[in-house]
Amino acid sequence: MLAYIFNRTLLITAFCILLPGTLPAVNAGTNDTFKESRELQRSAQKTLDEINKYVSQLDETERALSSVGRADIGNLRKRYESFSTELEKLEKAQARAGSNIDRMRTTGAEYFSSWDKANARISDAELRQAGASRRARVLERHRDLADAVSEIRVELQPFMSDLRDLKTFLGADLSPRNVSKASELIRESQVEAETLHDRVAVVQTKLKQFLKETPE
């Protein structure tokens, strides 16, 4: 009897760790869940990669803008053109990151739905409860991550709008006097960039943790 209890405990423990991705496929539903688990892993990793690229490009754009702010040094036109180029790259990096974030949301919804259906097919109540508990924990982390990403996307709108305004304003009259008029908005943009950096770092950390804890 003790051996039976011990073996059953081991089975439940293994189920909690491996479900749903690494259990042997017993039907099409299990295969679907396994596939969608891997898809979510790949999507989350791609999202992290694109966010990392966005942060790097954010640094390049802010450096170029800071250079434009020093209107009394060097070739102002050349520095403005550098800022314009970096801003265009930043907009593309933001679009790629946003696209991958949306894809990760969709993939996550499909994965958790499949996992829920897989749990429902388990006849053993104890194993079904173990699987449901594990799913709930992973789902909670996924929602926490999604909320953090949503907050960042909201903050990006005014920040990017300020950068576009600076590009348009300076491009219409690129002179030391006009740069001086824009100096306050340039400083505000730099402060916003630092704040954004900190907020994105939180998302990067959450993504890395989610990748570690999501079933493979």
Determine if the peptide bond prior to 20 is cis (ω within 30°). yes
Task: Check residue 35 and report its DSSP letter.
Answer: H
Average pLDDT over residues 132-148: 88
More confident residue, 213 or 118: 118
Q: Is the predicted pLDDT of residue 8 greater than 70, yes or no? A: no
DSSP label of 25: P
Q: Tell me the whole-structure pTM to 2 decimals.
A: 0.78
pLDDT at position 155 is 83
pLDDT for 35: 83
Give yes or no for residue 7 having a pLDDT over 60: no
Report yes or no: 21 and 216 within 8 Å, Cβ to Cβ.
yes
Q: How confident is the model at residue 204 (pLDDT cuts 50, 70, 90)?
A: very high
Say whether pLDDT at 49 is over 90: yes
Confidence of residue 65 (pLDDT cuts 50, 70, 90): very high
Lowest-confidence region among 76-80, 195-199, 207-211, 212-216:
212-216
**Where does the pLDDT of residue 26 fall: very low under 50, low under 70, confident under 90, or very high at 90 and above?**
very low
Q: What is the pLDDT of residue 34?
A: 76
Q: Judging by beta carbons within 10 Å of its beta carbon (0-12, 13-18, 19+), is residue 104 exposed, middle or buried?
A: buried
User: Would you state the pLDDT for residue 22?
Assistant: 37
Residue 108 token pair: 């996550």
pLDDT-based confidence at residue 156 (cuts at 50, 70, 90): confident
Q: How confident is the model at residue 151 (pLDDT cuts 50, 70, 90)?
A: confident
